[in-house]
Amino acid sequence: MAPEPAKRKHQAKVLRVFRKIHRTTGVLLFVFFFMTAITGLGLGWKKNSGGYILPKSFEGTSTDLKDWLPVDSLHKIACNIARDSISPTLSLELERIDARPDKGMVKFVFIEGYWGIQLDGATGKLLHIERRRSDFLENIHDGSILDYLFDIKNETSKLIYTTIMGLSLLTFTITGFWLWIGPKRMRVKGTN
Say if residue 186 is exposed, middle or buried (CB neighbours under 10 Å; 0-12, 13-18, 19+).
middle
Phi, psi dihedrals of residue 89, rounded to the nearest 5°: -105, 5
Q: Across the strands, what pairs with 81? A: none
Q: Across the strands, what pairs with 108? A: 97, 117
Asked whether residue 192 carries a pLDDT value surpassing 80, the answer given is no
User: 90 Cβ partners below 8 Å, 6+ apart?
Assistant: 82, 83, 110, 112, 113, 115
From the CA atom positions of the chain, what is the Rg in Å? 26
CB-based contact 90:115 (threshold 8 Å): yes
Q: How confident is the model at residue 11 (pLDDT cuts 50, 70, 90)?
A: confident
Residue ranges in the chain assigned as alpha helix (H): 5-44, 71-81, 133-141, 145-149, 156-191
Asked whether residue 3 carries a pLDDT value surpassing 70, the answer given is no
pLDDT of res. 1: 47
Give the tens place of pLDDT for each residue, 118-149. 999 999 999 999 999 999 999 999 999 999 88
User: How many Å from the N-terminal Cα to the C-terminal Cα in the chain?
Assistant: 5
Give the tens place of pLDDT for each residue, 80-115. 999 999 999 999 999 999 999 999 999 999 999 999
